[in-house]
Amino acid sequence: MTNEEVTKLSDMLLQSLYDYHFANNGGSYTLPTAMLNADANSKLAIDYLIENEYAVDSGKGSDNLVLSITPKGMEYVKSK
């Protein structure tokens, strides 16, 4: 997967997190870690979002990824 493809997928995921945030009163999106590990491309894209501080995972140490968008991520979505 190229960097461009990772960025594109990351942007799509971030837009989904943005929409989810507002549709669920700021709720976090929960995803089983095993499901994420089965999809290398999504894992790359989510790692990219976390590394760039557009999203945070508050599910550390559990069997789930608990992803939520950060204020920096919201600004990024609005600037697109």
- Beta-strand runs (E) in the chain: 29-32, 55-57, 64-69
Identify the pLDDT of residue 1: 78
Look over the chain and give the mean of its residue pLDDT values, rounded to a whole number: 92
**What is the per-residue pLDDT across 30-64, written as a single tens digit (0 to 9) for each?**
988 888 778 889 889 999 999 999 999 999 888 99
- Write the CB contacts of 19 (distance below 8 Å, at least 6 apart in sequence): none
Identify the pLDDT of residue 38: 84
36 closest CA partner among 19, 52, 50: 50
Answer yes or no: is pLDDT of 22 > 90. Answer: yes
